[in-house]
Amino acid sequence: MVSRAIQTRSVRIGIIGGSGVYELFEHPRHLILDTPFGKTPRMEIGEISGIPVAFLPRHARPGSEKVGHDVPPHLINYRANIFGLHLLGVERIIATSACGSLNENIRPGDFVLISNFIDMTKRRACTFFDGKPLKLKDGRIVSGVVHVDMTEPYCPELRGIIAEVCRELGVRVHENVCYVCTEGPRFETAAEIRAYRAMGADVVGMTNVPEVVLARELGICYAAIGVVTNMAAGLQSRVSQEEVIQVFNERIGTLRKILVETVKRIPAARSCNCASTLPAES
């Protein structure tokens, strides 16, 4: 049964990713939230070392108690997902995803910390601020057209914590990586990959945009850690979904360790400027 009135301690940390992360939680319970943009998928609320954390399965079907890889990347309701975490009080999001490498120095099995992105998506709802009034969790109302700075889209404080954890765990991680987000669900052509390389992209994926944009619009810190599952089209003979799943699953244990240690080290107060991007009431 879906719980719609769960009493929780303030949940300030959210994780977005695949269902393999569920096993991290102590005392898990679940809920589905209604937002101005639709229902969220089933979200798990639990604790990691006593710290309240929310987990949102990115590809799960909105409004369903079943959690599976049911929604393709171009049809995910990113606005409902991010706004749902906002309604819980989440101030920091750690996103996980699989990605392909465009850089010969970044190999399958490596981890990457994304520092910037190139948006090649085509038809996704990419902003909360479309001219209509938006009521925030604290009661403020933002209306009109809002232009949010994206010079540094990924939180430097969160990225620094994750990088430190990776180094201490002996994980091969690449920092300051540029991610190109494509529409999907198909994989890219070799010609597209050559173009993206020329544009300065290091890895390619289908889900990080507009997630990071929407988090920034609400003043939520957002960091993305990617698992490199394959070399992109033209850099290996072919790209298959089976390969992506296999390599990601092989690294899920290490990813869990990174997430646990990162959550434990996140300070209560934020020292970054991410919250300053949230527009004032208008």
Domains of the chain: 13-269 (3.40.50.1580)
Residue 7: per-residue pLDDT: 45
Indicate yes or no: pTM above 0.85: yes
Distance CA 136, CA 148 (A): 16
- β-bridge partners, 230: 100
Q: What is the dihedral of CA 230, 150, 261, 269, to 10 degrees?
A: 180
Q: Per residue of the chain (282 residues), what is the pLDDT tens digit?
A: 333 434 445 899 999 997 556 677 878 899 999 999 999 999 999 999 999 999 999 999 999 988 888 999 999 999 999 999 999 999 999 999 999 999 999 999 999 999 999 999 999 999 999 988 899 998 889 887 889 999 999 999 999 999 999 999 999 999 999 999 999 999 999 999 999 999 999 999 999 999 999 999 999 999 999 999 999 999 998 899 999 989 988 999 999 999 999 999 999 999 999 998 877 765
What's the Cα-to-Cα distance from 192 to each of 9, 152, 157, 195, 233, rounded to whole Å? 46, 25, 33, 5, 8
Q: Which two tokens stand for residue 203?
A: 């890895």
Eight-state DSSP code of residue 274? G
